A and B are shown apart, each in its own frame.
Chain A
Amino acid sequence: MLETEPQLIEQYIKTGTVKLVYRHLVQLGDRSLQLAEASECAADQGKFWPMRQAIYARYNQMLFDTEQELAAAAADADVDLAQLNACLDAATHRAAVQADHDAATAEGIRSRPVFRLGERTLIGAQPFTVFQDLIAQASGR
C-alpha cells in the first residue's frame, strides 16, 4: 500500500473521483493499539493524515523502539509531542479505537489490509491496476 496509495491520491483523490475512508484494526497487540491511539491524538491537533503518513514511513522501526520512533513521527507530522503524550497517557481515544476495531470485525474483517470499494472487498495489498479497474467500474469511466 505504501507504493499504491500515493498513486491513488495523485490520480483519484486529488481529482475528486475517490475519497479514502480509514478504519482502525488493532490486530498486533498493544503497539498496534498505541499507534492507532497516537493517530487519533494527532487528529486532535488536526494532523491525523500527516501522522498516519509519518508512522507508515517508519513502520519498520516502530516495533523496535516505539517511543522514539513515535516521537520522530510526531516531529515529522508537526504534532506537539507533549500534547500527544498527555493524550496517550490519558488513553483519551482508546475506547473509540477499540470500538472501531470491534465494528470492523463485526463486519467480517479478519485481516489487514482490507479494502472495500462498493460491493467489492479486496484482501491484502493490491497493485495499482486492480484499483484502477475497480474505480473505473464504480465511477462509470
Chain B
Amino acid sequence: MTAYRIPIMLVLWVMFLVGCGGSVVVTPSPTAVPPTLAVATTAPTATPALPTPEAAFTPTLPPAPTDLPVPPTATVAPPDAIAESRTAEGYHVLGDPNAPVTLVMFSDFL
C-alpha cells in the first residue's frame, strides 16, 4: 500500500508545482520587455543631437568632378587670339592671311 502512495504523491506534487509555481516561471518578467521599445519611445528627442551619417561623412567625401581644376592646354586659344602665319618668303604675318589689305613693316627692335 505504501509502495503505491509514493508515486501518487510525486504526481500530485508535480501537478501542484505546475498549477501554482509554473505560472511564475512562464510569465514574462518586467525585465523581459524589449529594451528597444523604450529606446524607440525616446528616440525622437535624441535624434537631432546626433550627427547624421551624411554629416559625419561629408568632410571626407571627394570633391565633385566639376570642382576639380582643369589643367590648361596649349591647344586652347584665348578668345581674342589673332591668327599668326608666314608668307611664302618666311616673313611673319599677324592677322587673317586672306585679309584684303597688307601692311608691311620694316623695322628692328632698337
Q: Do A and B come from one complex?
A: yes
Inter-chain contact total with CB atoms closer than 8 Å? 128
Residues 100 to 123 of chain A near chain B (Cβ within 8 Å): 100, 103-104, 109, 112-118
A contact residues around B101 at 8 Å (CB): 12, 17-19, 117-118, 135, 138-139
What is the bound-complex CA distance between A138 and B8, given in angstroms?
137
CB proximity to A under 8 Å, residues B8-37: none
Residue of B87, B93, B97, B100 with highest tally of chain A CB at under 10 A: B100
- Smallest CB gap from B100: residue in A: A139
* B100 x A138 contact (CB < 8 A): yes
What total of chain B residues lie within 8 Å of the partner, measured CB to CB?
26
Q: A9-B82, A13-B95, A49-B84 are in contact. Are A21 and B110 (CB under 8 A)?
A: no
Closest 5 CB pairs of A and B: A19-B95, A35-B109, A113-B107, A19-B99, A13-B95
- Residues of chain A having any CB pair with chain B under 8 Å: 1, 8-9, 12-14, 16-28, 31-32, 35-36, 39, 43, 48-49, 52, 55-56, 59, 62-63, 96, 100, 103-104, 109, 112-118, 131, 135, 138-139
Pairs A–B under 8 Å by Cβ, sample size 24: A8-B103, A13-B99, A16-B95, A17-B100, A19-B95, A19-B96, A19-B99, A21-B92, A21-B93, A21-B103, A22-B92, A23-B91, A23-B106, A23-B107, A31-B110, A32-B109, A35-B109, A36-B109, A43-B92, A49-B84, A56-B109, A62-B109, A114-B105, A139-B100
